[in-house]
Amino acid sequence: MNEQFIRDRISILRTKKGISEYKMSLDMGHSKSYIQSISSGKALPSMSEFLYICEYLGVTPREFFDEEIAEPSMANELFELTKKMAAEDISLLINMAKRLNSK
């Protein structure tokens, strides 16, 4: 993992959410070019800003770095929903996921 990965991953996750660099910058309380400066390689976020970016994008830091998760914010939402489910309902979801992955 390197700086380019971080820049690219922010861009990918932001794009999947349909958010422009401009909007994300302003939503996070920065100048309109803040995210663009990260994407272009002029800057990198501090650790606290990185954590805020993850929160804004709806992913955990672990999900941010896990490229195998195709839709990290949706996977996180599904995980949160399963926390309150009964074991038999979770089992049904697992079986459905296995069936869908085998296609």
CATH of the domain at 42: 1.10.260.40
Mean pLDDT of the chain: 92
Kindly state the average pLDDT of the residues 18-29. Answer: 96
DSSP single-letter state for residue 55:
H
Q: Looking at residue 1, what is its pLDDT?
A: 63
Residue 51 has pLDDT above 80, yes or no: yes
Its domain, for residue 52, covers: 3-101
Decide which of 27 and 2 is more confident. Answer: 27
pLDDT band at 101 (very low <50, low <70, confident <90, very high): confident
Task: Read off the pTM.
Answer: 0.76
DSSP single-letter state for residue 30:
S
**The total number of structural domains that make up the chain:** 1
Alpha-carbon gap, residue 30 to 22, rounded angstroms = 9
pLDDT band at 84 (very low <50, low <70, confident <90, very high): very high
Q: What are the tokens at 61?
A: 């830091």
Alpha-carbon gap, residue 101 to 31, rounded angstroms = 42
Kindly state the average pLDDT of the residues 29-38. Answer: 95
Alpha-carbon gap, residue 91 to 87, rounded angstroms = 6
